[in-house]
Amino acid sequence: MRKQWAVVGGWLLAALLMPNVVAAVERAASRHPPGAAIASAHVLATDAGFEILRAGGNAFDAAVAVSATLSVVEPISSGIGGGGFFLLHDARNNRDVFVDARETAPESATPAAYLDKNGELDADRATNGPWSAGIPGLPAALVHLAQNYGKLPLKNTLAPAIRIARSGFEIYPRLESGYGSRREVMERYRGTRALFLADGTPPKTGEIFKQPDLARTLELLAAKGFDGFYKGEIGNKLLAAVEEEGGKWRADELAGYKIRERDPLRLEYRGWQITTAPPPSSGGVALAQMLQILEGWDLSKLDAAHRTHLITEAMRRAYRDRTIYLGDPDFVKVPVARLTSRDYAAGLRATIHPDKATPSALLPGLPAPLEDDETTHFSIMDVEGNRVSATQTVNLVYGSGMVAPGTGVLLNDEMDDFALKPGTPNAYGVMGFDANAPAPGKRMLSSMTPSFMESDTQLAVIGSKGGSRIITQVLLAILAHDAGLNARQVAALPRFHHQWMPDVISAEPGALDTDTIKALQAMGHTVNAGESPWGILQTVVWDKQANVLSAGTDPRNPVGKAGVVLTP
């Protein structure tokens, strides 16, 4: 409890000190960072990134190395059987680009295919095994980054991941307990048993876990590029595995996978230029709505209860719109301009009572329990000023649970991110309607929100995992950076979340003190304080004024690493 006050107090104190910081801004800001910084959810991935930078690679080469290594050492969270989003800043031409490597739906994935005989959503099909998997996007992203942005060939940048897949790495508690929670599903599949029960028993903390098939698959990707994964031996094995387990993917759907380059979404908030994820992520649109609603108040002047109330009301409204309007922009018309306009935000702000909760039940929906979830984020900045903010995923813990035999590839269960049955909540308790209905080749809506925030004096690369809670974590991180917290404090900050449905403020221990909870309840909020912690936030910050780089990994994840290497 004392710690919580220290954090909240620290935030306020930092906010009060802000005018002095701003007053010192007159000196010319540096044009390049003094070195490189990486924050990722695993020490081996962060080290792989630095290894590639030392070998002459840039931030994009390092991103390939970090991404592929995370695929090897965090199979619970992401992998080349899944997808992700990479927000890039290319310093050569001062351009930001959003590389969309989201999975796509196969033609077999009609809404009817996910209903049981009573017409209810078949949650097992939606989250486990071949029907839950979309066509993977991550391998295509690695090839795209190497071909268009990196300096080094995949043979070099994939080398650390290949080495670690072959020689193994030490199992840590999250992998062991996650396996325990998914054991029944994973052991349904021949390929998964061969990999995870290679020694006859489930993975145990401290054991060395080797993935020789995955090493070979990565070698083929390095040698042959796109075709090494999506066609030929590996492609055929993926198709055969899906078929063997009763699913249906066509060869042309796999071979026809395409990443999309999109314009990132941009907005301004209190002097910060925020660059973030456009659809098919819901993150950027929701962030724009929430920040522009909140801009109407000086949050640093409010007590904790009113600040939490107003942030919650902004969250509630943005998540409601997410449910109704957001989907793959290649398939549905998403009213991005309207949803992200200042006037629209002002209209929403006007509906917020200063000290009374708006019941979500005015806008009907069904609450659902949140399931375990996994995903991973990393942030990179290099000495040339290139940046990568990337979030990648296989969706739930160990994705679909299904490894395609002979490939080491654990398939995702991203199909559950579609509104498979309109109005029925998915594993994150979020739902959707037509805009996010499945269709052949369509991308499922995501909450992944890799972002940059930049002012005249500061530049931060941020993002996190956490399913539907990603967007609110990024929101709180932006507010905390704005209030003057540093990278480590921002990652450590206790979190709260509201997603319209269920109509509850979820809070980590220490996020809200007893008086604040009471005050929120008096305003009409339902508060679940003391939920298990969520998210793994990774931040890299360049203080352009002082020319200081810093990186913060989330203390909730003991195997993460954030580091800075200064250029001599």
Q: Which residues are catalytic?
A: 375
Q: How far apart are CA 538 and CA 85, in angstroms?
A: 15
Nearer to ligand DON, 307 or 320 (CB): 320
Near ligand DON in 294-353, by CB under 6 A: none
Nearer to ligand DON, 162 or 415 (CB): 415
Handedness of CA 447, 451, 453, 458 (dihedral sign): positive
| One residue of 4, 447, 516, 557 binding ligand DON per CB under 6 A | 447
Stretch that binds ligand DON, among 141-149, 294-302, 326-334, 464-472 (CB under 6 A): 464-472
Near ligand DON in 186-245, by CB under 6 A: none
Stretch that binds ligand DON, among 20-28, 42-50, 138-146, 463-471 (CB under 6 A): 463-471
Stretch that binds ligand DON, among 133-141, 193-201, 304-312, 441-449 (CB under 6 A): 441-449
| Residue bearing tokens 């909540």 | 425
In this structure, what token pair is assigned to residue 1?
């409890």
The values of phi and psi at residue 209, to 5°, are -110, 120
Sheet of strand 272-276, all strands in order from the earlier edge strand to the far edge:
265-269, 272-276, 451-454, 458-463, 538-543, 548-553
Judge if the upstream peptide bond of residue 280 is cis by omega within 30 degrees of 0: yes
Near ligand DON in 114-173, by CB under 6 A: none
The alpha carbon of 313 is separated from its chain's Cα centroid by a whole number of angstroms, namely 23
CB of residue 449 to ligand DON, shortest distance in Å? 9
| One residue of 126, 241, 470, 551 binding ligand DON per CB under 6 A | 470
**CA angle at 180 for the pair 431 and 506, rounded to the nearest 5°:** 40
Q: How far apart are CA 43 and CA 164, in angstroms?
A: 12
Nearer to ligand DON, 202 or 533 (CB): 533
Nearer to ligand DON, 51 or 413 (CB): 413
CB of residue 10 to ligand DON, shortest distance in Å? 27
Q: Closest by alpha carbon to 172, among 211, 204, 210?
A: 204
Question: Residues touching ligand DON: how many (CB under 6 A)?
Answer: 14
Near ligand DON in 396-415, by CB under 6 A: 414
Output Rg (C-alpha) for the chain, integer angstroms.
Answer: 22
CB of residue 203 to ligand DON, shortest distance in Å? 19
| One residue of 136, 466, 510, 563 binding ligand DON per CB under 6 A | 466
Q: If you ran DSSP here, which 8-state letter would residue 235 be given?
A: H
The values of phi and psi at residue 310, to 5°, are -70, -40
The answer for residues whose C-beta is within 8 angstroms of residue 69's C-beta and 6 or more apart is 42, 44, 45, 48, 49, 160, 161, 164
| One residue of 239, 448, 460, 477 binding ligand DON per CB under 6 A | 448
Nearer to ligand DON, 33 or 467 (CB): 467
Nearer to ligand DON, 406 or 466 (CB): 466
Q: If you ran DSSP here, which 8-state letter would residue 533 be given?
A: P
Is residue 467 a contact point for ligand DON (CB under 6 A)? yes
CB of residue 235 to ligand DON, shortest distance in Å? 24
The answer for residues whose C-beta is within 8 angstroms of residue 350's C-beta and 6 or more apart is none
Stretch that binds ligand DON, among 124-132, 177-185, 358-366, 461-469 (CB under 6 A): 461-469
**CA angle at 376 for the pair 37 and 324, rounded to the nearest 5°:** 120
Nearer to ligand DON, 218 or 394 (CB): 394
Nearer to ligand DON, 213 or 417 (CB): 417
Exposure class string for 342-368: b at 16+ Cβ within 10 A, else e: eebbeebbeebeeeebbebeeeebeeb
Which amino acid is it at 168?
Answer: G
Nearer to ligand DON, 385 or 450 (CB): 450
CB of residue 450 to ligand DON, shortest distance in Å? 11
CB of residue 516 to ligand DON, shortest distance in Å? 26
In this structure, what token pair is assigned to residue 262?
């999109």
CB of residue 470 to ligand DON, shortest distance in Å? 6
Q: 222 near 228, Cβ under 8 Å?
A: yes
Q: Closest by alpha carbon to 410, among 79, 45, 65, 41?
A: 79
Exposure class string for 205-230: b at 16+ Cβ within 10 A, else e: eebebbbebbbbbbbbbbebbbebbb
CB of residue 406 to ligand DON, shortest distance in Å? 26
Q: If you ran DSSP here, which 8-state letter would residue 231 be given?
A: S
CB of residue 507 to ligand DON, shortest distance in Å? 17
Stretch 367-396: interaction string toward ligand DON, x if CB under 6 A: ------xxx-----------------x-x-
Q: Which residues of the shown chain bind ligand DON in the complex (CB under 6 A)?
A: 373-375, 393, 395, 414, 417, 446-448, 465-467, 470
